[in-house]
Each structure stands twice: as C-alpha cells, then as structure tokens.
C-alpha cells in the first residue's frame, strides 16, 4: 500500500508542473499583453509601460541574462509567488487576489456542499429502490421521473423556481445571501437539476454488480436481498460511484456560475464572472490554476480511495 501511495504522489509532481507552465503560457504568452487587456486598447504607451513595470511584465519572459538576474523573470516570479501562496493583485478590486478568493470560498461551499451531499444521498436511495425492484413499478416510475428531470434545461429550473416558488408563492427569497434560508431554493434547484443523471448512473453501477457470480453465491447461501445490496453490492459498486462523485468535487470550491449569478450569492462563481467581464486577469488566472490543482488533488485522493475499496487496484503494475 505504501509503495502505491508513493507512486501516485510521484506522478502528481510532473503533472502539477505542467499545469503551472500551461497557465503561465495561456495568460502571459498566448493571452497577449495584460496591460492592454486591463487598460484598454486606447491606453498610452506611458501608462502601459508603468503598468508593466509595476507588475513585472517588463521583465524577461522565461529567464534573465546569465549573471544578471538569471532567475528574475516572469516565469520564475510566477512560480515563486505560487509557492508562497501569492496569487497576484487584482487591479479591478484594488486588493490581493487571495483576499478576494477567501471571501468567496465560504458562500460557494455553503451552496455546493449541500447540493453534492443531498444529491448523492437522494440519488443513491432512489437507485437502490430502482435496482431492488428492477423491471417493476417502482423502477419504471423512478426511471420515468429521472428522464423528465434530465429533459429540463438547467436555466429553466432556475427561472421556474424563481418565478413560481419565490415571486408567485413567496416561499423563498429570490436574491441575496443573508442566511441559510436564502440558499434553500438554489440548493433545491441544484439537486433536482442533476438528480436524473445521478439516479441513472448509480442504478447502472448497482445493476452491473447484481448480475455477477458472487451475488448468486450470496443468494445460494440464504442472504436476504437487502443484505446483499448493502454488504456486498454497494462496496463493489463504489468504484464507479466514487469516480463519478470525484468529478464534481473541484466545483465545490470554484462555485456554481449560474446559481450564484441568478441568486446573488457572492461566491467564487460570481467572482469569476465579474473578473472575466472586467478583464481582471489576475483573478481569472488564479481561479484557473486553483481549479486545475484541485482536480489533481481530487484525482490523487480518488486513486487512494480505489486502493482502500479494492485491494486489487494497488497490486496492479503501471
């Protein structure tokens, strides 16, 4: 197990280096002049030069001259700042990017964590019911309902919820972030909008296990259907389920762009949209880099979870 863990950690290092280099290339080379993007095309040469000098864009791109500040370049400064936790300075907000992201993490997590947990638990329960009564009325009803949920566009859920439940019926506040009650409607919409896909995927993962030989053996030994589902099928079905859930975890931190925008929640999703609209490249770059690094971390944790769930994984070569 220890060798498996160390090998997976070692594989993360070159990928992380590639992510940092790609982010640097996108925002410092391919993206053009940051000064022109922020100051506008009509900016004077003097203002562009002053901006570049202030934020270090007038330094050599990759490396400096040998013997004259070889490591004093945009690339090495970028990597060094990341290592120190310095994500840059927001020209639009007039403050460090780290402070902006810290304010947005709380609202984003308070929205996305209940959506992920609630949707996963409800989806698994419905999938178990459908799998236990596969081909019968409960299964057909759940499949029909999940198909209906999948057929409705995400924006339709948001607009219908705001119009019917907030505006017409007055059950929920329509805008703001003052208490947990303001999150009730967006969390409900977030769960419903993804529930159809979740239920179908979880049901498929469970049914794939139900037809395997070990299930027939358990039945031959006299185990009840509930015991087989909980003790045997669930554990073996967790590999694809963990993979499916892990893909959504990075969005817990980067936020939900649509929900935060429609409901006025000051999370990282709305921060990202505002930064894009105002060409605040420091914030956009920070969100992109953090999102990519989070995917790396989640993939590592998922691989370790595979090894814990299935001992055969850690003994495979490669």
For residues 206, 207, 208, 213, the Cα torsion angle rounded to the nearest 10 degrees is 100
What pLDDT, on a 0 to 100 scale, did the predictor assign at position 114?
94
What pLDDT, on a 0 to 100 scale, did the predictor assign at position 318?
46
The runs of H, that is alpha helices, within the chain are 2-25, 34-39, 45-55, 74-83, 97-132, 137-151, 154-160, 181-210, 213-220, 225-227, 234-246, 250-254, 257-263, 268-277, 281-309, 311-314
89-90 and 95-96 as β-strands: parallel, antiparallel, unpaired?
antiparallel
* All domains of the chain in start order, with CATH: 2-96 (no CATH), 98-314 (1.10.3720.10)
Q: Does residue 304 come out as left (phi exceeding 0), alpha (psi in the -120 to 50 range) or beta?
A: alpha
Per-residue model confidence as pLDDT tens for the chain (318 residues): 677 778 878 888 888 888 888 888 888 777 666 777 777 777 788 888 888 888 888 888 888 777 667 788 888 888 998 889 888 888 888 899 999 999 999 999 999 999 999 999 999 999 989 988 888 999 999 999 999 999 988 889 999 999 999 999 999 998 989 888 999 999 999 999 899 999 999 999 888 888 788 887 887 887 777 777 777 787 788 888 888 888 888 777 766 788 888 899 998 888 888 888 887 888 888 988 888 888 888 888 887 877 776 666 555 544
Contact 105, 252 (CB under 8 A): no
Rg (CA), the chain: 25
Contact 148, 199 (CB under 8 A): no
CB contact set of 210 (below 8 Å; sequence gap of 6+)? 131, 134, 233
SS3 276: helix
Residue of 141, 127, 17 whose CA lies nearest to 79: 17
Which one-letter DSSP state was computed for residue 89? E
């Amino acid at each position: 197990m220890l060798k498996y863990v160390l090998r997976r950690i070692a594989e993360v290092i070159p990928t992380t280096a590639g992510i940092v280099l790609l982010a640097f290339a996108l925002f410092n080379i391919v993206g053009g002049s940051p000064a022109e993007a922020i100051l506008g095309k009509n900016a004077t040469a003097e203002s562009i030069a002053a901006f570049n000098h202030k934020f270090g864009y007038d330094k050599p791109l990759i490396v400096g001259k040998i013997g004259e500040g070889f490591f004093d370049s945009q690339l090495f400064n970028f990597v060094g700042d990341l290592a120190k936790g310095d994500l840059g300075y927001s020209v639009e907000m007039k403050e460090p990017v780290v402070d902006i992201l810290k304010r947005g993490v709380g609202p984003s997590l308070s929205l996305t964590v209940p959506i992920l947990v609630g949707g996963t638990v409800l989806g698994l329960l419905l999938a178990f019911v459908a799998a236990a009564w596969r081909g019968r009325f409960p299964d057909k009803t759940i499949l029909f309902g999940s198909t209906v949920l999948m057929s409705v566009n995400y924006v339709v859920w948001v607009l219908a919820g705001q119009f019917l439940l907030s505006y017409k019926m007055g059950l929920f506040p329509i805008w703001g972030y003052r208490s947990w009650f303001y999150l009730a409607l967006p969390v409900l919409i977030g769960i419903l909008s993804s529930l159809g896909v979740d239920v179908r995927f979880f049901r498929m993962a469970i049914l794939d296990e139900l037809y395997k030989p070990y299930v027939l053996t358990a039945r031959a030994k006299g185990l009840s259907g509930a015991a087989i589902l909980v003790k045997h099928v669930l554990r073996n079905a967790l590999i694809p389920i963990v993979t499916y859930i892990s893909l959504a975890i990075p969005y817990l931190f980067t936020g939900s762009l649509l929900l935060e925008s429609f409901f006025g929640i000051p999370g990282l999703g709305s921060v990202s949209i505002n930064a894009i609209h105002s060409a605040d490249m420091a914030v956009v770059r920070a969100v992109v880099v953090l999102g990519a690094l989070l995917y790396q971390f989640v993939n590592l944790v998922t691989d370790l979870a595979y090894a814990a769930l299935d001992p055969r994984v850690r003994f495979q070569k490669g």
